[in-house]
Structure formats: C-alpha cells, structure tokens
C-alpha cells in the first residue's frame, strides 16, 4: 500500500535485544507497564473522574472515586495489552511502536496475554465489589469492543477503523456517571458523543504524522489512502460537530454559566486550529508544512480542559 503523494519507504526493522544479555528486573517491570499504555489510561481516566463530580453535583465519595479509577485503569491497561499482543507484527515495523515490549522480545506473547487477562479479571472484580454491576459491565464491554471490534475487525480493513473503533474510548464517560448514579441518562451520552467526535480529529492528526508507518504495514488509516487536504476537511467537519455536541450539555444537564462559556471558548480555539491545518494541507503533502502534531497536542489539551470544566461547573454552583 502507498499513500497519496509519497513513495513507499522500506519498513525499518526494530532494534532487537541482545540475546546474550538478560533484561534487568527494572526493564521487565517497565515493559509490562508499557503494555498498558499509561498515557492512554491517563486520558481515559480524565474523562471518567470529572463526570463523577458532575453526576454527584459536588465532590463524590473518595472511596468510590478510587475504586472507579483503579478498576478503569486495570480495564484500559488490559485492553491495551491485548492490542499489543495482536498487533505485535506491525509494531515491529513502525517507528512509533518498535520499542514496545513485544517487538523488543522482553515479554513473550503468551506472558502478555496472561497479563492482559489477569488485568481484565481484576478490573471486573474491583468494579463489581466496590462500584456496581452496571459500571463493571460497561467497562468489560469497552474492553471487548476495543479488542474484538477495533483491533481485530476494523483496524486493518477500513478507513473508518478509528471512527467506529473509537467508541471504546467513549465508555469512561458512561462508567463515571453510572459509578455515582447507578443508571444511565442523556447527560453521559452527550459526553460520550463528545469523545466520539473528538477521536477522529485527534487520531487522524497523529496518523498524518506517521502515515508512512501505517502505509508500510498496510493499515488503511484515512491519511494513508486520501490526500492530506481531504483529511483536513474531514477533521474540520468532525471538529464542528464535536463543539456543537459539547454545547448540548448546557441545556440538557442544566449546567451553570461556567461550563458553556468554557466549552465555547475551548471549542472556538480548537476550530481555529482545525481550520489552520486544513488550509496548510491544501495543495501539499509536506508534513513540515501541514504540522499535524500541532492539532494532535492541542486536541489533548482541549479534551482535558473541557472535562475539567465539567468537574468544576457543579462546584462553582455550590
């Protein structure tokens, strides 16, 4: 597979560990931690805890927050570890992933699979025992969806992989809400939708930066199969829908004035960045001109601050 405007580059081979040198305990521990993709866990928890504050309309019980955080982190880590096992063949060939534990042969596929399963079981036990069955079921469902639907079914088959596969990353908003209330409502569904529409701009910006990697391993991320200008157009479309969806929380949940002001300002800044990327992508495939990582980093900041606003809004009304 080749991507638009470029010639395919030979896949770079991963750096293999010297078989004569046994990894230290520190290396092994770091490898297992790496399997869980801690940065992904941080982002998922950032969309869980603020929703608990919003559901409580104040400060939730510390024990409940800790149990939800631990259970959610274990579940997210499990899904990531399963993903690392299944994708170890392409991870060996991609610059962004070739230093992971499995490509470096510090952890075996069987050991990683056992590790992922143990994390899934522990997560379910914690959430059932300390939170509730609904939250545990949602967490388990998100894990299964990420592994079975995104990783196995969609990722290597369609440009829509991250659009529908990204649903798994939306579940923390539901889990945070149900942990406090024990039931679902339209409020967490709106926040679920915000993350759903945020995921494509966030991921496609990163995929633009590493499109050669994805092309080399035949993963049809959108930037691999369409010109950068079309990626930019799609990013802008999803960004507008994301911002509009974020503002729905105001009338549906009856927030105070702080949230809609914060959402409007953050959304406006995000839209400016998205439109800048689209303009830069017109007529060029040069990544140094397009600068996709600007939007990628900004998208992390946007989601973080938006959910901080979700947590702060009820506190400011007390």
Per residue in 201-260, pLDDT (tens digit) is 999 999 999 999 999 999 999 999 999 999 999 999 999 999 999 999 999 999 999 999
Secondary-structure class of domain 185-318 per CATH: mainly alpha
Per residue in 67-96, pLDDT (tens digit) is 999 999 999 999 999 999 999 999 999 888
The pLDDT of residue 96 is: 85
The pLDDT of residue 119 is: 97
What is the pLDDT confidence band of residue 200, given thresholds at 50, 70 and 90? very high
Per residue in 110-121, pLDDT (tens digit) is 999 999 999 999
What is the pLDDT confidence band of residue 44, given thresholds at 50, 70 and 90? confident
pLDDT at residue 317 greater than cutoff 80: no
Per residue in 149-181, pLDDT (tens digit) is 999 999 999 999 999 999 999 999 999 999 999
CB atoms within 10 A of CB 37: 19
Whole-structure pTM value: 0.91
The pLDDT of residue 25 is: 87
Residue 57 has, within 13 A of its CA and on its CB side, a CA count of: 8
Q: Which of 139, 168, 134, 137 is nearest to 152 (CA)?
A: 168
pLDDT at residue 313 greater than cutoff 60: yes
- What is the domain partition of the chain in residue ranges? 27-182, 185-318
Secondary-structure class of domain 27-182 per CATH: mainly alpha
Assess whether the region 27-182 and the region 185-318 belong to the same CATH fold.
Answer: no
């Amino acid at each position: 597979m080749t991507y638009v405007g470029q010639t395919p580059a030979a896949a770079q081979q991963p750096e293999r560990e010297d078989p004569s040198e046994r990894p230290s305990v520190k290396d092994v521990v770091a490898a297992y931690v790496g399997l869980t993709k801690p940065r992904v866990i941080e982002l998922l928890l950032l969309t869980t805890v603020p929703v608990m504050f919003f559901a409580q309309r104040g400060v939730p019980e510390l024990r409940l927050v800790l149990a939800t955080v631990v259970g959610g982190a274990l579940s997210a880590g499990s899904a990531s570890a399963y993903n690392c096992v299944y994708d170890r063949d392409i991870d060996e060939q991609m610059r962004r992933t070739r230093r992971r534990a499995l490509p470096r042969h510090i952890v075996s596929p069987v050991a990683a699979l056992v590790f992922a399963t143990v994390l899934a079981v522990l997560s379910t036990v914690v959430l059932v025992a300390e939170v509730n069955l609904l939250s545990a079921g949602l967490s388990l469902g998100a894990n299964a969806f990420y592994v079975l639907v995104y990783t196995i079914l969609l990722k290597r088959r369609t440009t829509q992989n991250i659009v529908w596969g990204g649903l798994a990353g939306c579940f923390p908003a539901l889990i945070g809400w149900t942990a406090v209330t024990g039931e679902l409502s339209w409020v967490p569904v709106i926040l679920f939708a915000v993350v759903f529409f945020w995921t494509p701009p966030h991921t496609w910006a990163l995929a633009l930066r590493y499109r050669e990697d994805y092309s080399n391993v035949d993963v049809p991320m959108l930037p691999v199969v369409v010109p950068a200008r079309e990626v930019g157009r799609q990013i802008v479309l999803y960004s507008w829908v994301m911002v509009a969806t974020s503002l729905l929380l105001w009338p549906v949940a009856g927030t105070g004035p702080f949230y809609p002001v914060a959402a409007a300002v953050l959304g406006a800044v995000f839209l400016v960045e998205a439109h800048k990327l689209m303009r830069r992508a017109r007529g060029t495939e040069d990544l140094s001109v397009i600068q996709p990582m600007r939007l990628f980093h900004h998208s992390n900041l946007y989601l973080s601050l938006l959910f901080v606003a979700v947590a702060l809004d009820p506190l400011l009304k007390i």
